[in-house]
Amino acid sequence: MPELPEVQALAHFLGERTAGLVVTGVELGSISVLKTFTPPPQALVGAPVDGVSRHGKFLDLDCGGTHLVFHLARAGWLRWSDAMPATVLRPGKSPIALRVRFDDASGFDLTEAGTKKRLAAYVVNDPSTVPGIASLGPDPMADSFSLEQFAAIAASHRMQVKGMLRDQSILAGVGNAYSDEVLHVAKLSPFAIAAKLDPSEVERLYTALRGTLATAVAAASGKPAKELKDAKRAGMRVHGRTGETCPECGDVVREVSFADSSLQYCATCQTGGKPLADRRTSKFLK
């Protein structure tokens, strides 16, 4: 799933490509992808792209005051084309959920792999009316996001720090991958309770959060959409690297799996050398 750095880079990429263009078509490959009824998608047609911005993991194309907002979810992606195929997209079993065309024949498709369709698009006059945007917590890359603000957030959440980092209503933009990375850099257990972190741990976490995201934003910046997925994967220290070697200490990267996801961490760096209990492994050991 694209997280803050990739969505930021996509916003930048789309902003550059669409500057001065006019929307000439919006086609739906899946009816369920569109979560709003009014204004209709056709309200975008004929409108100039005035800007592209990011809210958490949401992308927002401002087309003459009507906004096309979308969230790529876990398996969604954006595919840009300088010359879109002429065939009109029709609702069906296509992996293409939504197609947007511009007046120079360029455009993009929003695609979604797999059977669980979670990609969501909205056509709205005000992006803050999108429920997932209305409930967003502060953006950790905002200039104003201070250590004091982060410390107050941590102190008020008696929950596992991994869960806190990726809860969009607490912090906007961080997901499963970057929360693993941030915790590895901060040398904290993903299961540590946020409210119980001492001031030096909170500061380490804050510095790791801002630093990890800033590095990833810089790495992703200027890359075309099609290169962002690989760039994200290549930059990971522990996330998605179960069984590989920790770049800090040489221990093996371990995994805890859940019904729907998994996390990766280094026991030597993060949990005092003690592997965390893994439901799946424990079941086999019984």
Shortest Cβ distance from residue 267 to Zn ion (Å)?
Answer: 8
Rule CB under 5 A: is residue 246 a binding residue for Zn ion?
yes
Q: With binding defined as CB under 5 A, does residue 252 bind Zn ion?
A: no
Per CB under 5 A, which of residues 178..197 are in contact with Zn ion?
Answer: none
| Residue 253 is a binding residue for Zn ion (CB under 5 A) | no
> Nearest approach, Cβ of 6 to Zn ion (angstroms)?
25
Question: With DSSP H G I counted as helix, E B as strand and the rest as coil, what are the percentages for the chain, rounded to 5?
Answer: 35, 25, 40
- Which DSSP category does 107 fall into? E
Cα end-to-end distance, the chain, whole Å: 34
Alpha helix locations (H) across the chain? 4-18, 131-134, 147-155, 161-166, 176-186, 199-220, 225-234, 267-270, 279-285
Q: Which of 94, 251, 252, 262 binds Zn ion (CB under 5 A)?
A: 251
Q: 199-220 vs 4-18: helix axis angle to the nearest 10?
A: 30
Shortest reach from residue 272's CB to Zn ion, in Å: 12
By CB under 5 A, tell whether 249 contacts Zn ion. Answer: yes
- Name which of 20 and 250 has its Cβ closer to Zn ion: 250
In the complex, minimum distance from the CB of residue 189 to Zn ion, in angstroms, rounded to a whole number: 13
Looking at the chain, which runs of residues are DSSP E strands? Answer: 23-28, 49-55, 58-63, 66-71, 76-81, 96-102, 107-112, 120-124, 253-257, 262-266
Smaller CB separation from Zn ion, 53 or 268: 268
H helices, E strands: number in the chain? 9, 10
Q: Is 141 in the site for Zn ion (CB under 5 A)?
A: no
Helix (H, G, I), strand (E, B) or coil at 134: helix
Amino acid making up residue 38: T
Tell me the site size for Zn ion, rule CB under 5 A.
7
Question: Which residue, 43 or 253, is less far from Zn ion as judged by CB?
Answer: 253
Q: How far is the CB of 19 from Zn ion (least distance, A)?
A: 44
Nearer to Zn ion, 216 or 269 (CB): 269
Restricted to residues 212-231, the positions that interact with Zn ion (CB under 5 A) are: none
User: Residue 273 Cβ, how far from Zn ion at the closest point, in Å?
Assistant: 10
Cβ–Cβ under 8 Å, residues 257 and 279: yes
Nearer to Zn ion, 185 or 213 (CB): 185
Measured distance CA(250)–CA(273) in Å, rounded:
12
Give me the amino acid identity at 229: K
Site string for Zn ion, 258-277 (x = CB under 5 A): --------x-xx--------
CB of 271 to Zn ion, least distance (A): 10
- CA 230 to chain centroid, in Å, comes to 14
Interface residues toward Zn ion, by CB under 5 A = 246, 248-249, 251, 266, 268-269
